[in-house]
Amino acid sequence: MYNNLVATDIVQQSFISLWASIWAFAPRFLAAVVVFLVGWLIAVVVAKIVWHFVKAIQLDRALDSVGFKQVWERSGHKLDSPFFFYELVKWFILAVSLMSATGILGLDQVTDFLYRVVGYLPNVIIAAIILVIGVLVARFLERLVRGSIRAAEFGSANTLALITRWAVLIFTILATLSQLGFEFSDDISLTLMQGIVFAIALALGLSFGLGGRDHADEYIAKLRKHIQQD
C-alpha cells in the first residue's frame, strides 16, 4: 500500500512539473511564433518591393545585352533576376526573424548558426548589388563609347566599345567575388589590370589611327592645295 502511494505521488509530481514547464514555456513559444509571423509578413512585403524595383530597371535586358543571360541559361536555369532578388531579400529577413524566434526560445546553438548565416547574407546581397551596378555601368559605357567614336567618325567603334564593356565587367566580377570572400593575390590583380589597360590603349590606337587616316589625308590635301595656290 505504501509503495502504491509513493508511486502515485511520484507520478503526480511528474505531471505537475511537466505542466509547470509547459506553462512557463507557452508565453515564450507564442512570442516566438508572433515574431516569426511578423517577420514573414515583412519579408514578403519588402521582397515584393525589391521585385518591382528590379523589374523596373530592366536588369534582365541589361544582362542579356552583355551576354550573361545566354551563359546562365546554358546551366539549364532560366534567368529571372527579379525573382532572384525577391528570394534573396525574403530569406534574409526570414533568417533574421527565425534567429530572433530561436533566441526567445533559448535555442542558443540554432541561434548561433543562424547568426553566422545572417552575417554572411549581407555579403551576398552587396555582391549582387555590385554585379547589377557593374552590368548597368558596362552597358552605359559601351553605348557611350560607341556613340562618341561614331560621332567623331573614327573607326573600330564596336571593338573599342566591346573592350570597354568587358573591362568594366571583369572588374565587376573581381569585386563581386572579393565581396563573397574570394581572395586574389596582388600579382594576379596587377597583371589583369595591366592587360586591360594595354587592350584599351591598343584599341584606342587602332581606332584613332585607322579612323583618323581619312581626316589626315583630307587635311594634307587641303594644305597642298593651299600651297599650290600660293
Closest Cα to residue 55, out of 85, 87, 20, 14? Answer: 85
Q: Is the pLDDT of residue 86 over 80?
A: yes
SS3 80: coil
pLDDT at 43: 92
Is the alpha carbon torsion for 141, 143, 149, 155 positive or negative? positive
Closest Cα to residue 156, out of 218, 212, 113, 222? Answer: 212
**Residue-wise pLDDT tens digits, 50-78:** 999 988 888 778 777 766 666 666 666 67
Closest Cα to residue 145, out of 204, 199, 195? Answer: 204
Average pLDDT over residues 116-137: 79
Count CA atoms closer than 13 A to 101's CA, side-chain side. 18
- Which grid cell is 217? 589625308
CA distances from 69 to 38, 138, 183 (A): 36, 15, 26
**Residue-wise pLDDT tens digits, 144-159:** 777 777 766 666 677 7
Burial, 3: exposed, middle or buried (Cβ in 10 Å; 0-12, 13-18, 19+)?
exposed
* pTM given for the model: 0.54
